[in-house]
Amino acid sequence: MKYLLVFFLIVLGACANAPAPDPGGRPGTLGTAPTVDRGNPQAYFFKFTADKADRRASEALNAQLAFLDTRVAPRGKLVVYLHGAGSFKTCGSPEHGAMLSGLGFHVFSPCYRSDYGVQNCGNDIAGCRLEAFEGRDHHPFLNISRADSIEGRVIAGLRLMQQLNPVGDWQFFLDGETLRWDEIIISGISHGASSAGVIGKNRNVARVVMLSGPLDTGQPWLTAPAQTPLDRFFGFTHADDRQHPGHLEAFSQLGIAGDPVLIETTQPPFAGSHRLVSRAPTDNGHGATQAGAPSPRDGDAYAYEAVWRYLYGATQDG
């Protein structure tokens, strides 16, 4: 798949000292779906650092990613995809983002602080995850500003994307100074999967898709009340992942629908279960659940394409 790659740092680097983008959004005139212009069909791929979208951003200034494919009918949902623990030159998976946009989703992968865990957050890792998400004080271990938070960066990123790619109507997912979370799928892998689960507990999102996670077994947030109905939570884990038993336990504690189902022996819709398991051969069970090199293939196609369609609500019949 060839993508039109827009290097914001190079092409629009002169904007670094420009005023912050206009807030965007259309309060009072919110539509039911983004108005995507498909007059010149192509696959778009954008790459920029957080300080290009919001000059107040000062941490985790690596490459954020955005994707839109106007060659396919838009599904009217934004997938916010969260990377795993650590610092990355590229935040998120280019392959996974391309796959999701090829299914008709708008996709944005923000960079964010993910350098913490139970060893420094204790029995309140949800507090750390919430601070990384909101940029508000939830845990003494972290001190993250709004501009460096996941939520703040998604808002700023969508405003910038409206400028860079107006054909995508990215402002549809904004409601003034807030996000239209009911039009957003929150997803992630590993550390990002756990954070996606916490976000789903604290925002009413369209869907929660957790890959190779969560791994916060025994943490209070798993059994806490959720703003997103539990029938919108989905998890996918590989049996060769050393964290696999913890994922299954977390699925159980969350109360995700269904029993664990082996995808290699069950056809979609996988007996209606939201707890999916793979045993397909791979040399990296932890990374296999997202599109990319470790993910098993069936010829030129990903073996998990039907799984991802199911998880993200992108079945052939919509």
**Does 26 score more than 80 pLDDT?**
no
Helix (H, G, I), strand (E, B) or coil at 82: strand
pLDDT in tens, 164-196: 999 999 999 999 989 999 999 999 999 999 999
pLDDT in tens, 220-252: 999 999 999 999 999 999 999 999 999 999 999
- Helix intervals (H) in the chain: 8-11, 50-53, 94-102, 118-121, 125-134, 150-164, 191-202, 244-254, 305-312
**CATH number listed for the domain at residues 4-26+35-259:** 3.40.50
Mean pLDDT score of the chain, rounded to an integer? Answer: 90
What confidence score (pLDDT) does residue 24 get? 39
What confidence score (pLDDT) does residue 317 get? 52
What confidence score (pLDDT) does residue 86 get? 85
What confidence score (pLDDT) does residue 23 get? 37
Report d(CA 89, CA 290) in Å as an integer. 18
**How would DSSP label each residue in 29-65?**
---SS-----SS--EEEEEE-HHHH-TT--S--SBEE
**Does 306 score more than 90 pLDDT?**
yes
Report d(CA 68, CA 170) in Å as an integer. 10
Residue 84 phi, psi dihedral angles, 5° rounding? -80, -165
What confidence score (pLDDT) does residue 142 get? 84
Give percent of the chain above pLDDT 90: 82
Among 182, 190, 180, which residue's Cα sits nearest to residue 129?
190
**At 4, is the pLDDT very low, low, confident or very high (cuts 50, 70, 90)?**
very low
State mean pLDDT over 153-160: 98
Give percent of the chain above pLDDT 70: 90
